[in-house]
Amino acid sequence: MTSFEEAETEETVTCLHMTFYHPCQEDKMMFRCLNFCKREQVRADEMAKFGRDSSVCRYNLMDARVSRVQFSLQFYRKLNSSEHGFEIKNMSKKTKLTVDQTELGYLNKIDLPWKCIICFGDYQILAETQEGESMDYFETHLHLAKVPILQERCLPSLQPVAENSFSSSSFPSQEKSPVEIDENESC
């Protein structure tokens, strides 16, 4: 056997990709302390905290309107499963945190969906989990968005419109939806 064959199998690592956006990010530079485009290891027993207090938070947002600790992420292994996940907890007494459509008040927590948008104030964060096997640590990989995440993700609704009803378009004059007529039907 060669040393390649005898080498231990490399363990994959769960990675949380987070893409940040704020409308004033170029003027106020609130993300200047975040390490973008470089994976960072976090021990599984550590809580990843986001906020403006650099003595407590691993990820600092340089903005006086952000709470000292805005929110935290806890890595965990799901019961009776090999799957891992993240739990997000709102740590701000003043600002509600929204995860997709779920609003979290102070100390409320939920499981972080594998792909979701986290919002508080004018901040938008797209979070995407890449599954791994390691139980000792996870990685974060931070990115900076150039356009609003909500704008980028808000695609036109693809909900069907019933025949002879009005569409839910945002045009001032709501026109009737086209009516489909079977070729065997007469007018």
What does the DSSP assignment read for 155-187? Answer: PPP-----TTSB-----SSPPBPP----TT---
Average pLDDT, the chain: 83
Determine contact, residues 41/15, Cβ cutoff 8 Å: no
What secondary structure does DSSP assign to 112-163, as a single string? PPSEEEEEETTEEEEEEEE----SSEEEEEEEE-SS-HHHHH-PPP-----T
pLDDT in tens, 51-95: 999 999 999 999 999 999 999 999 998 888 888 899 999 999 999
DSSP three-state, residue 3: helix
Q: Is the pLDDT of residue 186 over 50?
A: no
Q: What is the dihedral of CA 130, 12, 37, 49, to 10 degrees?
A: 70
State the fold for domain 11-148: Tumour Suppressor Smad4 (2.60.200)
Q: pLDDT band at residue 5, thresholds of 50, 70 and 90?
A: low
> Given this model, what pLDDT does residue 10 score?
74
Q: Is the pLDDT of residue 155 over 80?
A: no
